[in-house]
Amino acid sequence: MNPETESTLLNLSYLNRIYRVIIGLLSAGFLWIVWPYISNVVLILVFAFLFTTLLLKSVDGLERRINSRGFSVLIVTVGLLAGIGIFIGSFISELSQQASEFSNRVDTETLTAEFNKLGEKFAAAIPGGLAAGSGDFSAALSGFIQMVVENLAALAGVIGSFVINAAMILIFTIILLAEYHHFKKLLVGFFSNKYFEVGLALIYNIEKSVSSYLRGQFLAAASVAVMSLAGLTLLNFFGANLTLTVFIGIIAGLANLIPLVGPFVGMVPAILIAFMNNIGNDAAMAHQLFGAVPSPFYVLDIVLMFIIVQQIEGNLITPTLVGKSVGIHPMMVMISLIIGGTIMGPLGMLFAVPATGILKVITQEIMFVRRNAHLL
């Protein structure tokens, strides 16, 4: 090749790169502008995809038995909705029963007196300088309740939007479940002959990575639910007087799906139930953890129990079930959680690890294509 032609080709290659950078920047800018309008739809689609991945094996398995895709989707969806409905229905009914028993048992004066006693106890336990702000505990609590009541309208709006989004997710999940294999085939059809096999492998690997991550997460959540239930039963054995233990266990398990924040969310209902059941009980108020640390209403016992469950889950169960399935370094998991949390809050944290897993698969495939470009 003569030097002039070589130099022209080199210039063209540079121009090509500059052109690609400009196109990339323009696309990013366009996405930045459009994102606020499409973010909700994208979120709904992502959730629908995750639910589809989770339920796909069941639908495929059922289709194998009854030989009808439509009926399989219907049975699995109705079964799931019935399960969720039964859980929420019985939880609300048990909780309202518990609340009515609580209101019959405890009058306002006793409640205020118990709050003040609890507040004093905490104030005494906290070192001098920190205790300054913890004055009237019951006043602070009433202030909080008033704030909640004032924000009820906003709460109704949030619940309404949640219900609409949940309905949309359900509809998209049903459509995706029914047409999953057809959609996948359509997607593969977009690849050119040259990248066809690589594209197929990419889709298959993403599918495998997301599905094993989700299955791992749900197994980890189930193990947290079982361990929490066992822990609460053990605390009851020592007189903690906790009810609704099965529900608390399931909530702790489900909350565990959200990394970092979830474990603390799981503790809240247990502490509330311990407080509701033990108010007015002097023995519970005077309870001490290991006979040394004051733990009114078994609050510290509950916190300790959940910390132990989280440690077992975080150090033994999740690394075995989830870490291996996605194959991401723990430090990368932490970084992705921080980024996900910064961008989208708890939802971002929920999707951070599978999204990183998908990015890892895509990067691996791109590297693979670059390495083997001469063979395609």
Partner 1 sequence: MVLFWLTARGNKMKNALWKNIFQGWNRQESETVLTLKQVPVFKGFTDKEFQDLEKLFHRRTYDAGEFVFKNRAPGEGMYIIMRGAVKITVGTRANDEKILAELSEGNFFGELALFDDEPRSANAIATVQSDLLGFFTADLMTLNDRNPQMGNKILFNLGGLIGERLRQTNQLLFEEKSE
Binding residues for partner 1 (CB under 8 A): 57, 60-61, 63-64, 181-182, 185, 188-189, 193, 196-198, 200-201, 203-204, 368, 372, 375-376
Give the contacts of 121 (CB within 8 A, at least 6 positions apart).
285, 294, 296
With respect to partner 1, which residue has the nearer C-beta, 144 or 204? 204
To the nearest whole angstrom, how small is the minimum distance from the Cβ of residue 212 to partner 1?
A: 13
Q: Rounded to 5 degrees, what are φ and ψ at 289?
A: -75, 130
Per the listing, tokens 């094993």 go with: 212
Q: Where are the beta strands (DSSP E) in the chain?
A: 288-289, 293-294
Spatial CA neighbour of 80 closest among 156, 166, 184: 166
Provide, rounded to whole angstroms, the least separation between the CB of residue 371 and partner 1: 10
CB-wise, 198 or 230, nearer to partner 1? 198
Output the furthest CA–CA distance in the chain (Å, rounded): 98
Nearer to partner 1, 117 or 184 (CB): 184
Closer residue to partner 1 (CB): 315 or 372: 372
C-beta closer to partner 1: residue 69 or 360:
69
Q: How far is the CB of 64 from partner 1 (least distance, A)?
A: 6
Residue 315 DSSP label: I
Nearer to partner 1, 53 or 245 (CB): 53
Taking phi first (over 0 means left), then psi (-120 to 50 degrees means alpha), and beta for anything else, what does residue 129 get? alpha
Q: How many CB atoms lie within 10 A of CB 169?
A: 19
Task: With beta carbons less than 8 A apart as the criterion, state whether 58 and 76 touch.
Answer: yes
Least Å distance, CB 46 to partner 1, is 22
Supply the minimum distance, in Å, between the C-beta of residue 261 and partner 1.
Answer: 34
Going by C-beta distance under 8 Å and a sequence separation of 6 or more, which residues neighbour residue 69? 59, 63, 178
Q: How far is the CB of 244 from partner 1 (least distance, A)?
A: 38
Residue 106 has φ and ψ, to the nearest 5°, of -115, 125
